[in-house]
Amino acid sequence: MVRCCVLYHSLDTFLAAAALDTMRRYVTWIDIALVANDAFVPLLFELILAPDSIEQLRAAAVGCVLAILQKRMVPRQKVALLRSLPVSRVFADPNLVIKVPYLVTGYAAEVLECCKKLGFTDIDSSTPVELLEEALPSVFYVMQESEEVELGNVVEFLSDYVITMRTPLQKQAVYLGHILEFIRVQICYDPAHRNNLDILDRIGREEEDQMGERRKDLLVLFCSICRLAPDVTQLFIQNLLIRALSSSEASVEEVEATFTLFYRLGETVNEEAMRTGSGLLRELVQMLLSSQFPCLSHRMVALIYLETVMRFMKFVQDNPQYIPYVLAAFLDQRGIHHPNLNVSRRAGYLFMRAVKLMKSKFVPYLDMILRGLQDTITQFTTSDWCSKNLECSVSEDGSQIFEAIGLLIGMEDVSPEKQSDYVAAFLRPLCQKLNEVLLDSKAQGLEESSAKVLTLQQIIMALNALSKGFNARLATSICPAIGIMFKQALSEVLEILIAFPNIKILRNKITSFIHRMVDILGGSIFPCLPVVLKQLLMESEVPSSHKLLPFLPVSCAFGDASRDVLEETSQYLKHTVYGHEAKGSNFAPKDMVDFLVLVNQLISKFSTSVEGILEEIFPAIATRLIVILSKDAFPSGPGCNTEEVRELQELQRILYTFLHLMANHNLSSVFLAPNCRGYLDALMQLLLLAACSHKDVLLRKLCVQIFMKLIKDWCTNCNVDDKVPGFRSFIIEKFATDCCLYSVLDKSFEFHDANTLLLFGEIVLAQKVMYEKLGSDFIIHFVSKGLQAARCPHELTEQYYQKLQANDIKALKSFYQLLVENLRQQQNGSLVFR
């Protein structure tokens, strides 16, 4: 092989290179002494070092040397091998270093690996520290000048090198400076795409995505250096800021990279250092806030500048003298008044976050803030919105400015008179614009995709956001004028719902606004509720001619219904009451979910005060739910996890939450109202099926709790005085045995599961409640038709009765679990459950 290379390297370059490539392939598994010797090594380095060496041969020789370097061996032997190679002659020639970058980085990586294994303390001649010190300048030179070397390999080497440092020495601090500069250069965008990134077209988005991937490991390396040597990093950032401010030729790409690194520096600063501004941090933040940096008109630079300001808000929080600078950054042309819509919207969102963090300290500047935002608010209400205005993310729709305003106005430090004036100043133009668009829409019609819908949507969102700064106490007691104004705004918003109830996007926004109004208007919202609930139920309204019909077939007597009867009930409702409409969009589960969430909020907030309202709307709710949820299970298996099925599952969960809230807020009398009673049986069947066999254990627990509350409300110790004829028998004959016995005997009832144990505790408690309310009727049936049918031994039955009579619910639970496990073993799966 040696002879071939010697004879043919000048006569037949291709043959010599092929011979070297063949040798490289054998190095990994042959004895290293066969190649790392006086015959091969001088020849390989002669081919590498010779000025007139052909590139093909030089590359082949480099491949062989790399194979030798990467040969696995004991660290001390590897160090001896590294010392024997005349790599220093390569490092001495910068022109040659550029030609063999992989040799330089590969050699340095092997040396570093030996350093990690042997340590950096110079104990004896075998320590490779000096070899690493010799290689690093060439590595940095390659990083800066060569385009051939793979970025990933370099970053991996530098990361390993930084990790090995403890407290950087002066020379190492210099090396860290080189690494920081390398990172800065590598994260700069290509100037060729500057305009694309400013308008963010397709090419700009692709460039952003690619740079995001490219930067990941580089910025992780940067953060490692920040934590290792904060002083070095802060000095580096300071020099970059000074360079950006002093140079008239600072490019967009360089300034953006500077702010990106500054932002990442903020991620690594601990809370104490951030609060006190340790090191150069105070000077850096002051430069950031008080200086007018170039290129801020560019979208990319402006965005990262604002993010960096927000990153250091905790410093400003403890140093309030910088608040005017922060407000200026958010409110002037750098932020909310930036010509680029994306930047302006992002600035509004970040300003809202800053207000949440420091609203009490912003109050003294409230007049200045509102003056600075007045033209923005005017523009918001005079714009004709179109889809291109809404291309920002959902969290940056422009309404965040109103949320920030509301949060500031709603502070207790602001006098009620000023609060009222401020609210009026912002609500009046919003409502005026809303009325203008609504009148025009009524005259000309309204399409769901039209610009008018987008305009109405934005106004409603702004009203909603503004209201977030106020609570019921402020709006109804301290400053009732605010409550009156929001109530008027609600009335005007409801006009949209009345005029255009079928435009789903507006219904969703209006529903969200109603939720807020419930929170801040309190009981004063009651006059609006009939209109609200009627309009939200409009598409699912029961025809008036059918509202008082006996919806259940005659065969469905209380306590006798089964799954078949429940299905019969559903079909009856579909065909008799709704006909073909039952198949349409009127039965959309998502609409019912949104509606029930609102009703649940009303129940939670007003309790029995909504009893009359519930009696009016309950028939429509019950009818709709019985039709949609007539079966106790949904399709399962491959292809069944569809959006439609998930919506049905969510509706089922909300339904039982709704019933649970009714029961626990003393509203069970609604079930017994004349126009509601006809639905009771079907709902009890739904509850029973869910309590016995629903896959969601926590939902089963809710259903058991509902039954317990109804037993307490409707049953007395005397059978004659029961409020609901037949309910006692239903509980004793169905709920007690099916839910409290058979469902827990099923082996799917897993006692090792924490949630299942919670359900079991409720089931045991339900038995105690039934015993207290239903007395001997319950215990006789439960023992004779339940425990004895399950072949429970007589002595266990006796013990169960004794535990049930006692007042120790914990002992009853423990015993009942042992009884169930005993019955499971005894039956050995032979019991046929009902």
C-alpha to C-alpha distance for 404 and 362, rounded to whole angstroms: 11
Q: What is the pLDDT of residue 5?
A: 58
Sequence-separated (6 or more) residues with CB below 8 Å from residue 376? 336, 337, 401
> Please, what is the end-to-end C-alpha distance for the chain in angstroms?
86
* pLDDT tens-place string over residues 523-551: 999 999 988 998 888 754 433 333 333 33
Quote the pLDDT of residue 581.
38
pLDDT of residue 617 exceeding 90? yes
Burial per residue of 438-477, b for 16 or more beta-carbon CB atoms within 10 angstroms, e otherwise: beebeeeebeeebebbbbbbbbbbbbbbbbbbbebebbbe
pLDDT over threshold 80, residue 833: no
> What pLDDT score does 679 carry?
92
Q: Using the 8-state DSSP alphabet, how is residue 173 labeled?
A: H
Q: How many percent of the chain have pLDDT more than 90?
A: 64
**Cα 646 from Cα 656, distance rounded (Å):** 16
Calculate the average pLDDT of the chain.
Answer: 87
pLDDT category of residue 587 using cuts at 50, 70 and 90: low
Query: What pLDDT, in 10s, does the model give residues 349-377?
Result: 999 999 999 999 999 999 999 999 988 88
State both tokens at 569: 């009930």
Kind and range of the H or E run holding 306: helix 299-311
Residue 689 is predicted with a pLDDT of: 92
Burial zone of 307 (CB within 10 Å; 0-12 exposed, 13-18 middle, 19+ buried): middle
Assign 570 a pLDDT band (cuts: 50, 70, 90): very low
- Does the pLDDT of residue 721 top 80, yes or no? no
Question: In terms of pLDDT, which residue wins out, 40 or 408?
Answer: 408
Per-residue confidence band for 574, with pLDDT thresholds at 50, 70 and 90: very low
Q: If you write DSSP's letter for every residue of 668-720 in order, what string do you get?
A: GGGGGSTTTGGGHHHHHHHHHHHHHH-S-HHHHHHHHHHHHHHHHHH--SSGG
- CA distances (Å), origin 140, targets 54, 154, 283: 26, 10, 30
Strongest mean pLDDT among 247-251, 421-425, 563-567: 421-425
**603: pLDDT strictly greater than 80:** yes
Given this model, what pLDDT does residue 11 score?
52
In this predicted structure, the answer to whether residue 35 has a pLDDT above a threshold of 90 is no
Give the per-residue pLDDT at 722: 80
pLDDT at 578: 35
Give pLDDT tens digits for 189-227.
999 999 999 999 999 999 999 999 999 999 999 999 999
Alpha helices for 34-85 (secondary structure H):
40-49, 55-69, 75-84
Q: Which two three-digit tokens encode residue 498?
A: 């009345």
d(CA 264, CA 256): 12
The C-alpha R_g of the chain, in whole angstroms, comes to 38
The per-residue pLDDT for 605 is 95
Do residues 569 and 552 touch, judged by C-beta distance below 8 A? yes
DSSP per-residue letters across 189-256: PPGGGHHHHHHT-HHHHHHHHHHHHHHHHHHHHHHHHHHH-HHHHHHHHHHHHHHHHH-TT--HHHHH
Is the model's pLDDT at 262 over the cut of 90?
yes
Task: Note the pLDDT tens digit of each residue in 58-97.
Answer: 889 999 999 999 888 888 888 989 998 999 999 999 999 9
Q: Specify the range with the lowest mean pLDDT, choosing from 23-27, 199-203, 767-771.
A: 23-27
707-722 mean pLDDT: 86
Band of pLDDT at residue 631, cut at 50, 70 and 90: low
Under the banding of pLDDT at 50, 70 and 90, the label for residue 180 is very high
pLDDT value at 7 more than 50: no
pLDDT for residue 1? 55
pLDDT tens profile 387-415: 555 555 556 778 899 999 999 999 999 99
Residue 166 pLDDT more than 50? Answer: yes
* All residues at 6 or more sequence positions from 482 whose CB lies less than 8 Å from its CB, including other chains: 419, 420, 423, 470, 474, 475
Least confident of 210-219, 486-495, 583-592, 822-831: 583-592
Stretch 555-569: mean pLDDT:
45
pLDDT of 50 above 60: yes
Q: Determine what percent of the chain is predicted with pLDDT higher than 70.
A: 88
- Predicted confidence at residue 540, as pLDDT, reads 45
CA angle (68, 71, 72) in 5-degree steps: 160
Torsion of CA 396, 399, 400, 405, to 10 degrees: 160
Q: d(Cα 109, Cα 129) in Å, to the nearest integer?
A: 12
pLDDT of residue 208: 96
Question: What does each C-alpha distance from 166 to 127, 159, 161 come to in angstroms?
Answer: 18, 13, 11
Residues 350 and 341 sit within 8 Å (Cβ to Cβ)? no
pLDDT at 575: 44
Under the phi-then-psi rule, with left for phi > 0, alpha for psi from -120 to 50, and beta for the rest, what region is 791?
left
769 and 710 in contact (C-beta within 8 Å)?
A: no
User: Which pLDDT score is estimated for 32?
Assistant: 84
Can you tell me the mean pLDDT for 693-711?
Answer: 95
In the predicted model, what is the mean pLDDT of residues 174-178?
94
* Count helices and strands in the chain by DSSP H and E runs: 40, 0
pLDDT computed for residue 33 by the predictor: 84
Residue (of 770, 781, 660, 760) closest to 712 by Cα position: 770
278: phi > 0 → left, psi -120 to 50 → alpha, else beta; which? Answer: beta
Q: Is the pLDDT of residue 552 over 60?
A: no
pLDDT at 548: 32
Using N-to-C axis directions, what is the helix angle for 504-521 and 529-536, rounded to 10°?
Answer: 150
Angle between helices 400-409 and 366-382 (to 10 degrees): 140
Residue 789, C-beta contacts closer than 8 angstroms, at least 6 positions apart: none
* 6 pLDDT above the threshold of 60: no
Residues 6+ apart with CB under 8 A from 646: none
The residue behind tokens 């058979």 is: 742
C-alpha to C-alpha distances, 71 to 125, 295, 819, nearest whole angstrom: 21, 51, 69
In 3-state terms the chain splits into helix, strand, coil percentages (rounded to 5) of 75, 0, 25
189 sits in the region (left: phi over 0; alpha: psi -120 to 50; else beta) called beta
Average pLDDT over residues 430-459: 90
247-253: average pLDDT = 89
- CA distance readout (Å), 816 to 11, 216, 732: 95, 57, 18
Look at residue 377 in the predicted model and tell me its pLDDT.
81
Question: Chain-centre distance of CA 810, in angstroms?
Answer: 40
Across 501-508, average pLDDT: 90
